[in-house]
Amino acid sequence: MTLRKVNISILIVAVVIFLLVIHHNFLSLSDFLRRELSDPSPLGLQPIDFIPAAPQRLADERNDQEIPVVIAASDERLGGAIAAMNSIYQNTRANVVFHIVTLNDTVDHLRMWLRSPPLKNIRYRILDFDPRVLEGKVQVDPQKADAFKPLTFARFYLPSFVPHAEKVIYVDDDVIVQDDIVELYNNPLKPGHAAAFSDDCDSTSSKVAVRGAGNQYNYIGFLDYKKETIRKLAMKANTCSFNPGVFVANLTEWKLQNITKQLEKWMALNVVEELYSKTLAGSITTPPLLIVFYKQHSSIDPMWNVRHLGSSAGKRYSPQFVEAAKLLHWNGHFKPWGRTASYAEVWEKWYVPDPAGKFNLIRRHSEAYEAK
Ligand SMILES: *[C@@H]1O[C@H](CO)[C@@H](O)[C@H](O)[C@H]1NC(C)=O
Ligand SMILES: *[C@@H]1O[C@H](CO)[C@@H](O)[C@H](O)[C@H]1NC(C)=O
Ligand SMILES: *[C@@H]1O[C@H](CO)[C@@H](O)[C@H](O)[C@H]1NC(C)=O
C-alpha cells in the first residue's frame, strides 16, 4: 500500500465525518426552525425576552410546576403592573412566570425596571401587542384617540400569549396580591367552562359597594336591551354581571369554544349596531365577555377579587377586611398611584420606584404635587 493510498483513505474518512457533522447540525437546525415556526402567533406576537434560569437557590425552594400569569402593562401606568407583579412574586413559593403584554415602545422601559434589585429574579416574558388586530372591532373616536386603550383587549387573546399552557391566570395592572397565587390557580373550573370570574352580586365587595350603584351589577347595566340583537339572545337582564379584571382560564376549553373568535364577533357587531349600554361608565371590554360567558363560567372566591378600591376616594372597607383580602383591586378612577387613592399605603408596600424616573407617585404631600 502506497503512501498516497493511505492519504486518500484518510481523506475519505475525513470527508465522511465532515458530512456527518454537517448533516447532524443541519437536522437540528431544521428541527429548531420547525419549533420556532410552529408556535402559533396569529397576532404577529413577538416574545421579546425570557429569563428561564432562576437562581439555583430559588429554583430549589420553589415548586417546579409553572404558573403562567398574564398581565397587560401600558406605559402610563407601568408602576401598577410592577407593584402587582412584585406582590405576586413576593407572596408565592410557586414557580410563577409572568407573560407581560405591552406595546412595542414600552419594552425597553419595562425591561430596565425589571432589572431593579427587588425584581431581578422574577421570571418573565414580554409580548408585543399589535393594536392593528383590533381594527374594525373597536370604534375609535378620532377626538378621543388618546383615551383608547388597546391593551385592555389583551385578555381576549390569551391563547396567543401562552399557547402551550392549559390553565392561566389573568390579572389587571391595578391589583395587589396578598396571598399565594397558587390558591387562585387551583380554583376549579367546571367541565365545559373556559373561565372563572368573581360574580358582582354575591361578592363581599358588592355588599358594601352596591348602595346607589344602580344597575351596575346586572347585565342591563352593560348591554342595551332595546337592541333586537341583544333581546334575541334571551339573556335575563337582571343576571348578575362579573368582573373580568381577575380570572382563571382553561385555554384548552377556550380554544375548543373559539372564545377569541366569539369575542371578536361581538366587538365587530357593536361597531355596527352599538349594543353596549351607554348609561354607565361605558366599559367596552366587559360587554362582549358578559355575552360570551353568559351562564358559562365558574366562580372564584370573592376574597380573590376584593374590588372597588378605586371607585371613590373614600374608604369603604375596614382595615381588618383589607388585610384579610387575598387580592385587592383598585378598579375605578382613583388609582393607588394617583393623588386621591384610598388604601394607597397598602399598595405602596409593593411599589418599586422607576429607575428611569418617568413614573412618579402623585401624593398630596409630595413635592411633585406642591410644584403644580
Ligand atoms: C411599534 O409598532 C408600530 C405599529 O405596529 C410601528 O408603527 C412602530 O414603528 C413600532 N415602533 C417600534 C419602536 O418598533
Ligand atoms: C380544561 O378543559 C379540557 C377540555 O374540556 C379538560 O379536558 C381539562 O380537564 C380542563 N382542565 C382543567 C385544569 O380544568
Ligand atoms: C371552532 O372553530 C372551528 C374551526 O373554525 C370549528 O370547526 C368548530 O366547530 C368551532 N367550534 C365551536 C364550538 O364553535
Q: Tell me the DSSP string of 266-303.
A: HHHHHHHH--B-SSSS--SSHHHHHHHTTT--EE--GG
Does the C-beta of 296 come closer than 6 Å to ligand 3?
no
Domains and CATH numbers, the chain: 47-368 (3.90.550.10)
* Best probe residue, ligand 2, of 169, 187, 250 (max atoms within 8 Å of C-beta): 250
- Which one-letter amino acid corresponds to residue 320? Q
Encode the chain (372 residues) as per-residue pLDDT tens digits. 555 666 767 666 666 556 555 555 544 444 443 333 333 344 544 444 544 444 444 545 555 789 999 999 999 999 999 999 999 999 999 999 999 999 999 999 999 999 999 999 999 999 999 999 999 999 877 777 777 889 999 999 999 999 999 999 999 999 999 999 999 999 999 999 999 999 988 655 555 544 444 557 889 989 999 999 999 999 999 999 999 999 999 999 999 999 999 999 999 999 999 999 876 656 789 999 999 999 999 999 999 999 989 887 667 799 999 999 999 999 988 899 988 888 999 999 999 999 999 999 877 554 443 333
Pick the residue whose CA is nearest to atom 14 on ligand 2: 189
The rounded distance, in Å, linking the Cα atoms of 83 and 89 is: 10
Instruction: Report the predicted TM-score, pTM, of the whole model to 2 decimal places.
Output: 0.82
DSSP strand E in the chain: where?
A: 47-50, 66-72, 95-102, 123-128, 167-171, 175-177, 195-199, 242-250, 298-299, 327-329
Distance 259 CA to ligand 3 centre (A): 10
Strand partners, 128: 102
Pick the residue whose CA is nearest to atom 12 on ligand 2: 250
Q: Long-range CB contacts (< 8 A, 24+ apart) of 186-192?
A: 187/248, 187/298, 187/300, 187/301, 187/304, 188/298, 189/248, 189/250, 189/253, 189/298, 190/298, 192/253, 192/296
Please report the pLDDT score of residue 254 as a whole number.
Answer: 98
